[in-house]
Amino acid sequence: MEKQYDFSPLNLSAQSAGQEAAAPSAGYWSDAWLRLKKDKGAMLGLGFILLLLTVAIIGPMLSSFSYEDQNFLQANLGPSAEHWFGTDSLGRDLFIRVLYGARISLAIGIVASLINLVIGVIYGGISGYVGGRTDRIMMNIVDVLYSVPTLLYVILLMVVFKPGLMNIFIAFGISYWLQMARIVRGEVLKLKEQEFVLASRSMGANGSRIILKHLIPNAVGAIIVSLSMSIPDAIFTEAFLSFIGLGVSAPMASWGVLASDGVNTIRVFPFQLFFPAMAISLTMLAFNFLSDGLRDALDPKMRR
């Protein structure tokens, strides 16, 4: 007796439809961007930063006031339709000065982050990859420089040079990359024992190629998070230094300078301190929200 089998022909159209319905696999950066978009605080911070950049660049060009124009007849005016943030003791429009302060503060944050990125990543990458005695010597240098506060570097520079923006850049160039170097070194120490590094070394790749092509790209998540956190730190450091008279000098309109001027008239004209202090606070919060979102989005442990 012939055996019967219960077979049914394969429905190729149904299989094709199932394949089309399947979602394409998301890459690392696509997945990170999707995670970041779901974080409302991070997107709010990113939106505020982009808006601040746009207004700081375009706003002063569209205004009839300048950050250094003085008009003693309009000194200490409160906020109005003509002067949105009021005027200072010399009759200068406070809104335009806050926007110019945003230019200086954001420029300092960007320059400090570039210094942090270039020096810290290269120094930490070499130290972690080479290891041994070289690593100990390089990290001892970092420990010595890290033990001296940035404020002391600025004070020492003022002994030789005049107070100004250049001193802040030099001080950041000396000390601001140290934390990044430590983070990159730790990441490289973990990654250099992986199989892909051994495979690259066995194929004849030299140390510089392994660091630049394999180790640093695989540590880019920690680098971006550290970089985003360093920008508000640099902005606040500059504001503090300008507030105590060690940063930019008049007539430049840094947020720290505006806050320092507003403290002198806080009892009579509190708006002169409120608006620059609000600008500093909102910018710090925006960068912190964005940093937290980037940390959650780029951390592989947070991925499902």
Instruction: Specify if 276 maps to a domain.
Output: yes
Instruction: Specify if 73 maps to a domain.
Output: no
| Cα 113 to Cα 94, 156, 233, 251, distances in angstroms | 28, 22, 10, 26
Which structure tokens are listed for 209?
């190629």
The answer, yes or no, to whether residue 21 has pLDDT greater than 50, is no
pLDDT for residue 247: 74
The model's pLDDT over 64-96, given as tens digits with 9 standing for 90+, comes to 777 777 777 777 888 888 878 888 888 888 888
Instruction: Specify if 254 maps to a domain.
Output: yes
End-to-end CA gap in the chain:
54
CA–CA gap between residue 12 and residue 213 (Å, rounded): 43
Which structure tokens are listed for 243?
């507030």
The answer, yes or no, to whether residue 14 has pLDDT greater than 90, is no
Instruction: Specify if 166 maps to a domain.
Output: yes
Here the CATH number for the domain that contains residue 257 is 1.10.3720.10
Residue that is written with structure tokens 């250099």 in the block: 192
Greater pLDDT, 207 or 229? 229
Mean local confidence (pLDDT), 264-268: 84
The whole domain housing 183 covers: 29-64+98-302
Instruction: Specify if 79 maps to a domain.
Output: no
Instruction: Specify if 108 maps to a domain.
Output: yes
The answer, yes or no, to whether residue 17 has pLDDT greater than 70, is no
Using alpha carbons, select from 172, 192, 190, 184 the residue that is nearest to residue 226. Answer: 184
Q: What is the percent of the chain with per-residue pLDDT over 70, rounded to a whole number?
A: 87
Which structure tokens are listed for 96?
């335009």
Instruction: Specify if 7 maps to a domain.
Output: no
pLDDT for residue 304: 45
* All residues at 6 or more sequence positions from 239 whose CB lies less than 8 Å from its CB, including other chains: 105, 247, 254, 255, 256, 259, 280
Instruction: Specify if 78 maps to a domain.
Output: no
Structural domains counted in the chain: 1
Q: Angle between the 94-130 and 220-243 helix axes, to the nearest 10 degrees?
A: 140
Mean pLDDT of the chain: 80
